Structure 1
Amino acid sequence: MDNNFSKLKDLVLSLESDFEKFYEKNNAAAGTRVRKGMQDLKNMAQDIRKEVQDIKNSTADNA
């Protein structure tokens, strides 16, 4: 659990400077990096959701 949460936090924090560069300085390249980071975030969230569901289902099967 902690490992996934740490990875998620690290990814979000790694995007902070690109968000600032894009929204405050209108840096187009930073916008591209933000979009890629958000796609990575979406994929990571989906993987975590699947893992949680799998664990939930295996726990329910064993109960």
Structure 2
Amino acid sequence: MEKIAELKALVETAEKEGAAFYEKGNKAAGTRLRNALQQIKVLATDLRKDVTEKKNETK
């Protein structure tokens, strides 16, 4: 559940940076948004692997 909480925090950060980039035209926020999205991707991939491992342990 710790990883899910971390994922939620990253999504909130991405939302904030996305608003600054798209609504205010802040280019630095665009860079931070891309970074947050990459971190979300990596964390989601790790989470998927964990779920698959746990699911396959019962077999």
Match of 2:24 in 1: 25
Q: TM-score, normalised by structure 2?
A: 0.90
Moved over 4 A (4+): none
Q: Structure 1 counterpart of 2:49, which letter?
A: K
1:17, 1:31 → 2: CA distance? 11
% identical equivalent positions: 44
Partner of 1:37: 36
User: Which residue in 1 is equivalent to 2:52?
Assistant: 53
- Higher relative CO (Cα under 8 Å, sequence separation at least 6) belongs to 2
- The higher radius of gyration belongs to 1
State the alpha-carbon separation in 1 of the partners of residues 32 and 25 from structure 2.
13
Structure 2: how far apart are the matches of 1:14 and 1:34? Answer: 8
TM-score (norm 1): 0.85
Give structure 2 stretches of 5+ with no counterpart: none
Aligned length: 59
